[in-house]
Amino acid sequence: MYQFAHNFRQVYPILNDPKKHGNQTDGPGTLYRSSRPDFMTESEVDKMKEMGIQSIVDLRSRSEYLKATGDKHLDRIYKPLKVLLPGFLGNKPSDAVKVKAFKTTACSSNANTSTEQSRKHYFINFYNWNYIWTIFNRATWYIKLYGILLLVIDVIFHTNYKHFIRLFARNVLNVGGLLEQYIDMIEMSQPSICAALKLLATEGNLPAVINCAHGKDRTGILTALVLSCVGASREHIARDYALSEAELRPVHSRCHDEVVKKFHMSEQFLKSDVETMEGLLDYIDREYGSVQSYLECIGFGQVEQEKLKKNLDGM
């Protein structure tokens, strides 16, 4: 399989799945996962186009993308679109996912971009205000006060909220651990998850690539939900998630700088253990009965789940 970026691999059809496809070899997929594709060369972008990739479902916010490094040659072909989510109260997305186009430096610098952008690059913010408010309220009163002060400093000096995030990483996220962060996203990022699934169920959007910054956490959660929806075994889902640790080893120092050094998160946030994904799936089963029931609760009902399966199967 061609490697466009670190942690790039096929999600569906499931490779070597005797239940559905016999002993498969690498072939054309309908869904892939990856770390951020911002570093791809022009030839790699062209190769991805040749593979028929129609859309990129990017689980980063618009601002996270714009501030990220990389030449972002993919903007020449994949039109950047910000997904508009429901507000603070966390109400569910409507049937149609609303998007808004935006310009990037790469777009502006390429005169041929407007005529070539026949494919889509969707950006979905996972860390919405509902998520941030939950983490903020989990801190003690004096950490909250100190956090407000740091927030003002971050805004004044345009630090991308570095000091604010560091404070809550040390005092809240590190205490709860990686599994608790995943559970928070399952609960607080429901509109983002629902919108992403709706895009994957939309005819014309596949084949697609799911990605976030490193292709491990946000991507791992969405991939697990998709694989559960199509009936993959829990063992396969956990193994697929755990592959990220080895796949990201070549860029471990960069991941360490971006997670541990920059935001003071603990080393555990660089890992992707089987037990973490099993713990998340156990939580969903315990609280909602099944992944399918969870998806219904967040606004992605049985009809849409069947539509997603058919779209992934190319039907």
| pLDDT tens digit sequence for 176-207 | 999 999 999 999 999 999 999 999 999 999 99
The CATH number linked to 66 is: 3.90.190.10
Tell me the pLDDT tens digit for each residue of 104-132: 876 655 555 555 778 999 999 999 989 99
pLDDT at 63 over 50: yes
pTM of the model: 0.93
To the nearest whole number, what is the mean pLDDT of the chain?
91
Is residue 84 domain-resident? yes
Assign 216 a pLDDT band (cuts: 50, 70, 90).
Answer: very high
For 159, the domain range is: 9-312
Q: What are phi and psi of 56, to 5 degrees?
A: -120, 120
Domain total of the chain: 1
In a domain, 2, yes or no: no
42 in a domain, yes or no?
Answer: yes
Residue 1 lies in a domain: no
| Inside any domain, residue 3 | no
Percent of the chain with pLDDT over 70: 89
Examine residue 158 and state whether it is found in any structural domain, yes or no: yes
pLDDT of residue 87: 65
